[in-house]
């Protein structure tokens, strides 16, 4: 069984090698300046000749004894991982332990600190201040400038 499979693999490799040589010869002959019909005939001849030469080389004897492989029938219970399959203790990230060692100026820790979070009233006041600042800055209406620029562009195209 393994010997038959090895022969099939060798035949496939020989065919790929012959085809590769034939394609390279075709490109080379066309680049040199030979006609398509002559280059095609040379390609077919080279493919056939290289196939015959490669098939004439006898395969080497197997250097290693390869046993036939047959997968075993596993049940679904054997494939499931459980806590008994764990190696070592799982690593845990405890934010409480890290927070004790980091200074009060750290933004990452303060982001999750409940005492540093603003109340609803403080958040509403911030939003109101932001909206008032945008209202006083004034929104510039540039639609008339855009209309004038498009009209000037139309006139220049005529």
pLDDT per residue as tens digits for the range 104-147: 666 665 556 677 677 888 888 888 888 888 765 556 677 888 88
pLDDT in the model for residue 21: 92
Of 76-85, 99-108, 122-131, which range is least confident? 99-108
Separation CA 105–CA 93 (nearest Å):
21
Separation CA 62–CA 6 (nearest Å):
10
Answer yes or no: is 71 within a domain: no
Check: pTM over 0.95? Answer yes or no.
no
The answer to whether the Cα torsion of 81, 87, 91, 92 is positive or negative is: positive
Altogether, the residues listed in the chain come to a count of 158
Residue 110, classified by CB atoms within 10 Å of its CB into exposed (0-12), middle (13-18) or buried (19+), is: middle
Answer yes or no: is 76 within a domain: no
Alpha helix segments (H runs only) across the chain: 2-32, 36-56, 76-79, 95-101, 107-111, 120-137, 143-157
What is the C-alpha radius of gyration for the chain, rounded to an integer number of angstroms? 39
- Domain check: are 7 and 52 in the same one? yes
- Domain check: are 6 and 52 in the same one? yes
Average pLDDT value over all residues in the chain: 78
Domain range holding 116?
93-130
Answer yes or no: is 38 within a domain: yes
Answer yes or no: is 99 within a domain: yes
Answer yes or no: is 157 within a domain: no
DSSP 71: -
Answer yes or no: is 105 within a domain: yes
Q: How many domains are contained in the chain?
A: 2
Separation CA 157–CA 124 (nearest Å):
53
Separation CA 158–CA 153 (nearest Å):
9
Over pLDDT 90: what percentage of the chain? 14
Answer yes or no: is 139 within a domain: no
pLDDT in the model for residue 40: 87
pLDDT band for position 17 (cuts 50, 70, 90): very high
Answer yes or no: is 153 within a domain: no
- pLDDT tens-place string over residues 44-62: 999 999 989 988 888 777 6
């Amino acid at each position: 069984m393994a010997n038959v499979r090895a022969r099939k693999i060798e035949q496939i490799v020989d065919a790929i090698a012959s085809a590769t040589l034939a394609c390279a010869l075709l490109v080379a002959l066309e680049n040199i300046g030979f006609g398509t019909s002559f280059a095609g005939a040379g390609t077919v001849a080279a493919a056939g000749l290289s196939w015959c030469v490669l098939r004439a080389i006898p395969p080497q004897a197997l250097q290693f004894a390869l046993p036939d492989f047959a997968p075993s029938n596993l049940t679904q219970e054997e494939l499931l991982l459980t806590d008994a399959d764990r190696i070592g203790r799982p690593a845990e990230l405890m934010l409480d332990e890290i927070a004790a060692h980091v200074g009060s100026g750290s933004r990452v820790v303060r982001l999750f600190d409940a005492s540093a979070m603003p109340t609803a009233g403080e958040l509403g006041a911030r939003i109101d201040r932001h909206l008032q600042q945008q209202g006083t800055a004034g929104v510039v209406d540039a639609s008339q400038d855009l209309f004038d620029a498009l009209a000037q562009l139309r006139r220049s195209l005529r």
